[in-house]
Amino acid sequence: MKTSIWTIFLLLTLCGAAHAAATLATPPLRVDDDEIAACTPLNVGTRDVIVRTELYRSGSRVSQSGSRVLAPNQVGPGLSALETARNGAPYSCRFTIEKGNKRSVRAVVERRSQVGTEAALEAR
């Protein structure tokens, strides 16, 4: 009897965890004036994922993409949250995986200039 109760408890716990949205977040990255802060996800898995991307400046959200499908091996064009920097502020990103496996998503906060990406920090 104890075994079946623990089995049911374990199954309910695992099923509940499978449906919960997972979140990845980057550490802050300083972005100077006239540079761009960008949040960019990548699906490294074999199935579609649904990702919502949020950009934060000094801890306050400044931009958010809608929830969008990211196909396998797709970098998030249209999912990137962008803002031209102000006063050398620290920027960070949060990525919510609403459908799919968290392990299938890699994501970064980037500092971009006219030359290209100058620095990037990975979300964990």
Give tens-digit pLDDT for 51-82: 999 989 888 888 877 788 999 999 886 445 56
Q: Dmax of the chain from CA atoms?
A: 67
For 10-45, the pLDDT digits (tens) are 444 444 445 568 999 999 999 888 888 889 999 999
Helix (H) or strand (E) holding 11: helix 2-19
Q: Could you tell me the pTM of the whole model? A: 0.78
**Structural domains for the chain:** 21-122 (2.60.120.820)
Residue with tokens 């990702």: 51
